[in-house]
Structure 1
Amino acid sequence: MNQQIQDKMVRRTKFRLVLDNLSKYIFLLATLFGLLVLSVLIYRVVVDGIGWLNFDFLTGKLSTQPERAGIMGAILGTFWLMLVVTPVTMFLGVGTAIYLELYAKKGRVQSFIETNISNLAGVPSIVYGILGLTVFARAMNLGNIALAGGLTMSLLILPIVIVASQEALRAVPSPLSEASYGMGATKWQTIKSVILPVALPSILTGAILSLSRAIGETAPLVVIGIPALLIPFPGSIFDKFTVLPMQIYYWTLDSSLTAEYANLAAATIIVLLLCLLVLNSTAIIIRNKFQKQF
């Protein structure tokens, strides 16, 4: 009987080892497949667009003639958009996280609010575009200026920033705040001088990654009616604007007319990828730098 039990356990162990190795190779193949598709995509984009990247393309105005088209207007539009998104998102996102995590009483109401914020993080971006169209473009009569687009994008990434900031605040060791209270500091003094400095690297990392998503989003801006072809450069947040993802989207549609629009879209994708690479690298540098300090 004991021998039968041992044989059965051996067979189960062998089966588990085979299953473990099989799972490992399946996951490896899935990873390699994703990397392969990404590599092919990046290769095609670079091959199609690298020849169109020059000073005139980066500094020129948009044009109906592909050989004269430039993306400076889209670059400036992206800048003005992020000039609205960054302070609004950081102030509201971090402020909400501080209140929910450090001031609000633990209970059903706080749990209900946190659950809904987490759910909002998974809402499709086009829904935020409809909300922005209803509230900012029409109810507030802002139209399709950079301010309306920035506020719409702020709604999109605000739940992500709130959740990331809450996690950063929870990760602060409790003995630090307890020591501050023990020395007679008030709650706000403890938050300002102890908790926030320790949580700031993680908060900034989450915020920068969220801003990267806002830069690459197109659907909400399509809904609020951002123009496809805007010749004048936007000079402030109160001007009409277009952004890099929008220009890529419409040039991709126009590529059915002539292959030159596909080359313009590829060149713009390279610029957008470089912007995202800079932002993501900044997040990594900030995280690694502050992790060594704490």
Structure 2
Amino acid sequence: MTVYFHLSTLLSHEGAFVPRVPENQIHGIKESTIKRVCVSKTIEGCFTAIGNGQNPHDANFVRRGYYVLFKIDTEKLGIEKRHIVSSRQIYRNGWVPDADVTKEHWITKSFQVPKEEMSYIQIQSFKQVQTMAYPYEVVNLARNGDQGNVESIYKKRYSNPLPCVRETVSLNYQTSKGLTGKERFMFVQGEEEKETVIDFLTKNYKVELLDRCKDKIHFRLLEDKELLPLFLTNLIASWTNTDDDNRVWHVLKNTFYKVLTCKRYKIIKRIEFICYML
């Protein structure tokens, strides 16, 4: 049995995966036409791979730390070895130069992750190190030892800066399963967003507010309760934290809160998807 992970920034993702060729293969030296679902052997690898060159702390804050984590058990899902392109193969073909760092693998078969293998999570903190991600052909030439070291060979062949990756080596996250006595915090920006989230939190959960920092709300749960509605509230409130004259955002936000009161979560996720597309 082999287990892989996939981390999605879209909370409306329901676990149906269909292989495809990404529209923007921004990391690849060579384009690959292989239709695939990108996965990694570690959650840290997933988080490293979705950075896309952005400052990871800023990107995580914009998302308020929320993701859907999928655990992909190849044996349970009928994914065979022939359906998997290894990180070694991806790296050596130059399709994704940092695949050796992220341990990115490709699955070439469609599959549906069961609900019990899905988790809504909030990444609260992480540690990263700078790791060099030289192309395989450069590393291979350096191993032969007759053309210099890996850095000098790279500089001779490429005009780009040295290929450095912010590799995530550890991260701390919590799931949406709220447990009595557990302390949690939420990222916020601006007083309007903060008050919106606090209002929803105090009306729908038994909590003890511990602190209201500039960019965080710190609280302790006084009951066991699912936190996904709170995650969605926080996320949608952050997206509507825009110009007051933007009527589209405000209509969507008001619709969202009405739907949330009715606990129609499938519709909530559709609203989240619409906001994401906008």
Q: TM class by shorter-chain length?
A: under 0.3
Between structures 1 and 2, the one with greater strand share: 2
Higher RCO (C-alpha under 8 Å, 6+ residues apart) = 1
The structure with the largest alpha-carbon Rg is 1
TM-score (norm 1): 0.22
The structure with the largest helix share of the pair is 1
Question: TM (normalized to structure 2)?
Answer: 0.23
